[in-house]
Amino acid sequence: MKPFIHENFLLQTPVAQRLYHEYAENQPIIDYHCHLNPEYVANDHKFENLSQIWLEGDHYKWRAMRTNGIDESFITGRNTSDWEKFEKWAQTVPYCMRNPLYHWTHLELKTAFGVDSLLNPESAKEIYDHCSAMLQTPERTARGLMLHYNVEVVCTTDDPVDSLEHHLKTREDGFKVKMLPTWRPDKAMAVEDPEAFKAYLEKLSEVSGVEIRKFADLIDALKVRHAFFEQAGCRLSDHGIEEFYAEDYTSAEIVDIFDKVYGGSRLTEEETARFKTAMLVEFAIMDHDAGWTQQFHYGAIRNNNTRMFMQLGPDTGFDSIGDLNVAKKMSRFLDMLASRDKLAKTIIYNLNPHDNELVATMIGNFQDGRYGAGKIQFGSGWWFLDQKDGMEKQMTALSNLGLLSRFVGMLTDSRSFLSYPRHEYFRRTLCNLLGNDIENGLLPASEIDFIGKEYVSRIAYGNARDYFKF
């Protein structure tokens, strides 16, 4: 009997198998959005055991464990051992069938450690010991795993106040994989809490050398840091927004709003929306003038469980999909920039799948051949949608309403060095989608080689290479 993860996993037809093995399988990885710890790369971190690399910070697994009735002490607790946490995860895995975690778990075990066995309570100890031992070898350190998975570029997610010392060290070391920063300035527009906002401005002032007392100072300080990021190799920004902001405002109004929040007063909802609009526009202009690509991840409702947020903090598995009416604001925001000819290359990621067709049609409004193919991109299935069904729906919407052929493909959006198989999972899903169409007569069988070269290999790697120009 074949192991569960085998060479034709997810590839349901001979054509899909040919597309994958000839055109996708050996392509390098450009992981243009992730949350890896740059220090781990700079210091070539060695993980003590499988739990540390696999369970720490993985809120996907944490949510599943909670749903399976695992006590929090075995998920995020400090008084339980790494083995005890792994043992509880192994108990959960058999109950994850039809959740993408089941596929990811076994794909990662197979590709990183050569493990063919299914993870369950009976196999847990043997798998844990085997993988933990492999993690002590040079081939399975942080850098070793990046080389193992044929990674060419990774773009981390970094705040404007970050020193980027680990990116610079990695570059100075001559490490084969490019690790580049991504500009994530969310805190510079987080005016909901005046005290926290002012504390952030003090940090920004310190690292930029610009004394911040008024709105113009804030923009000057951000421009200093933007230039610093560019010198460190940054070519991308990223914005984690609940919704798009596109309110009318005047310069005088934004000056007054800044003065109010800087003075410690809370803003009204209208003032907050105007300020965030102004900041997003300022960020977008910086990106355009620098020739960067801007990314917008929208639609998450974060930290829903107040009690657990107070206990564990953000990004611990208590976020969900939002249900927002965003079309008009998204359109207006993009048009505010396009009308000034300041719209940079842009990637939009939705979290609610009911926005798939919305985004797929919206990007067509702002394409511009001066920037090459696919200036405005519909981002790959994000977060709750980065699984087979979510990816297929995203690619189907893009195919129906845009050009799948110009899609820049997949990313990990992960904190784990074992997440690179998500690129393989995506590539297999893509090849299966196209292969099924060819087998069913929806695409011409005579064009298999063209589809392999101009669709599969380019979506897997070539489009991202040409789009970002790292």
pLDDT for residue 1:
85
Residues in the chain: 470
pLDDT tens per residue across all 470 residues of the chain: 899 999 999 999 999 999 999 999 999 999 999 999 999 999 999 999 999 999 999 999 999 999 999 999 999 999 999 999 999 999 999 999 999 999 999 999 999 999 999 999 999 999 999 999 999 999 999 999 999 999 999 999 999 999 999 999 999 999 999 999 999 999 999 999 999 999 999 999 999 999 999 999 999 999 999 999 999 999 999 999 999 999 999 999 999 999 999 999 999 999 999 999 999 999 999 999 999 999 999 999 999 999 999 999 999 999 999 999 999 999 999 999 999 999 999 999 999 999 999 999 999 999 999 999 999 999 999 999 999 999 999 999 999 999 999 999 999 999 999 999 999 999 999 999 999 999 999 999 999 999 999 999 999 999 999 999 99
- CB neighbour list of residue 292: distance below 8 Å, 6 or more residues apart: 183, 230, 234, 235, 236, 237, 286, 344, 345
Each domain of the chain, given as residue ranges in start order, spans 14-44+145-468, 46-140
- How many Cβ atoms are within 10 Å of 12's Cβ, its own excluded? 13
Q: pTM of the full predicted structure?
A: 0.97
- CB neighbour list of residue 62: distance below 8 Å, 6 or more residues apart: 75, 76, 316, 317
At 326, the amino acid letter reads V
| Helical segments of 57-172, H only | 59-67, 82-92, 100-113, 124-134, 142-148, 165-172
Ranges of beta strands (E only) in 422-463 are: none
Q: Does domain 46-140 have CATH number 1.10.10.10?
A: no
- CA distance to 18, 199, 202, 233, 343, per residue, from 196 (Å): 54, 5, 10, 29, 31
Architecture of domain 14-44+145-468: Alpha-Beta Barrel (3.20)
Euclidean distance between CA atoms 319 and 299, whole angstroms: 11
Euclidean distance between CA atoms 290 and 292, whole angstroms: 6
pLDDT for residue 35:
96
Euclidean distance between CA atoms 445 and 350, whole angstroms: 33
- Return the SS3 of 102: helix
> Interhelix angle for 251-262 vs 269-290, to 10°?
110
Please return the burial class of 342, using the count of CB atoms within 10 Å of its CB with bins 0-12, 13-18 and 19+.
middle
Residue 376: strand pairing partners: 346
- Return the SS3 of 381: coil
Q: Which two tokens stand for residue 194?
A: 């005046």
pLDDT for residue 397:
98
